[in-house]
Amino acid sequence: MEAGGNGFVGPGADASFRANPHPILAFLREHQPLARTPLGPWAITRYADVTRLLREVRCGMRRRDGTPFLIPAERGPNGLDANDFMLLQDGAPHARLRKLVAKAFTPRMVERLRPEVQEVSDACIDRVLEKGSLDVAEDLARVVPSTIICKMLGVPLADRPRFTEWTAHATHALAVQFAPSSALALAQPALEKLTEYFVALADERRRALGDDLLSELIRAEEDGDRLSSAELIVQAVGLLGAGFETTIGLIGLGVRQLLLHPGELARLVADPGLVAGAVEECLRFDPPILGTVRILHEPLEWHGQTLPPDEPVLALLAAANRDPRAYDEPDRFDITRIGVPHWGFGGGEHFCLGAHLARLEAQLAIGTLVRRLPGLGLESEHIEWSDSLFRVPAKLPVRFRA
């Protein structure tokens, strides 16, 4: 969902780093715990330092004067500015926007979706059994979260395939300063298509409000809340992308790690009740989001350096999640691991709004897969990546016994 606050792999990252970033992250963590990255920002890699940044230091997604950092302030078509998305706001503006949508993502509301998520997961496996082949990315990981967020927002399911392409390209707009021109060339038209779609859909909803999240946001606007029409569209577009893009990566990469560790897969098959812990370990061990950016709002001394206010700092969550100072045997994949919590959903005021939903979707999708399809195994350890800013597999062919 909120991806912990604009977390990304790093535009232009080569395939080897995207597939296995951990050797480089481990080197930085041990030898350069505060390092200037090729993209410009300083990066931190140790668990204690990430904790300090996300929980103790005064920082945010914008500069101290409130001006945007990651995306230049610019009104585009229909008066929209991507900086109006709650993920890119701080303080009271962020709290106001988040409050409008947070009630749809509380543990209680998410739990009500369990039967529907289970139904979608079972339908995916039914189709796999019917056709006799399985691509985890296309047949499960992409379908479950995108179907659920479309239903929550009131988006017709017939339009879901278009969104999966648009949102993958649109994610690069979250890192305009760092994205290569080739990615931005695809991001802008994708954003325009998403915007046009939601402008039309919002007009349709205003004529006949329903019980979906988009209708609830419209009601809030009409009840005197300060949510403008432009803000409404930005939140809808942002929630659609945040609502499934990273969860595709969580499910796909999680299944991959289970298949790379057959002993852990066997434990999960023998005891389905371990699935919640398995999902947490997948997030810790091989996450779809490697880092999250924060802009300092006060000077900070770190590892012999004094960083000034308005300096961006990249918290490399994936590195912190394998810090031996925080975890015993951090490079061992263990679905029964207990101990300190991981940073897979970010932290602070930008802690992932959709964490409960992502967990539910991943638990049911992965749990249904390993329960219903025996003899699972990777066809290849090679990963074909999607065009997303995040670590999202495009294809993950897997064999099974019919």
CATH of the domain at 129: 1.10.630.10
pTM for the predicted model, two decimal places:
0.90
Mind listing the pLDDT tens digit of every residue in the chain (402 residues)?
333 334 444 434 567 888 899 999 999 999 999 999 887 889 999 999 999 999 999 999 999 999 988 776 666 656 677 788 888 899 988 988 888 888 888 899 999 999 999 999 999 999 999 999 999 999 999 999 999 998 888 888 888 877 777 777 776 666 555 556 666 666 778 788 888 888 899 999 999 998 888 888 888 755 556 677 888 888 888 887 777 888 999 999 999 999 999 999 999 999 999 999 999 999 999 999 999 999 999 999 999 999 999 999 999 999 999 999 999 999 999 999 999 999 999 998 989 889 999 999 999 999 999 999 999 999 999 999 987 778 999 999 999 997
Tell me which residue range forms the domain holding 66. 3-399
Domain count, the chain: 1
Give the integer Cα–Cα distance in Å for 357 and 239.
Answer: 12
Cα–Cα distances (Å) from 89 to 15, 61, 92, 106, in that order, read 32, 6, 8, 21
Give the integer Cα–Cα distance in Å for 375 and 334.
Answer: 20
Strands 393-395 and 312-316 turn out to be unpaired
Q: Which residues pair with 398 in a beta bridge?
A: 134, 378
Give the integer Cα–Cα distance in Å for 387 and 211.
Answer: 33
For tokens 């434990």, name the residue.
Answer: 267
Strands 300-302 and 305-307 turn out to be antiparallel
Between helix 355-372 and helix 262-270 the angle, nearest 10°, is: 90
**Contact status, residue 125 vs residue 137, Cβ threshold 8 Å:** no
The sign of the dihedral angle between the CA atoms of 50, 56, 58, 60 is positive
Give the integer Cα–Cα distance in Å for 149 and 379.
Answer: 30
The sign of the dihedral angle between the CA atoms of 229, 230, 231, 233 is positive
- Which helix (H) or strand (E) segment is 42 a member of? strand 42-44
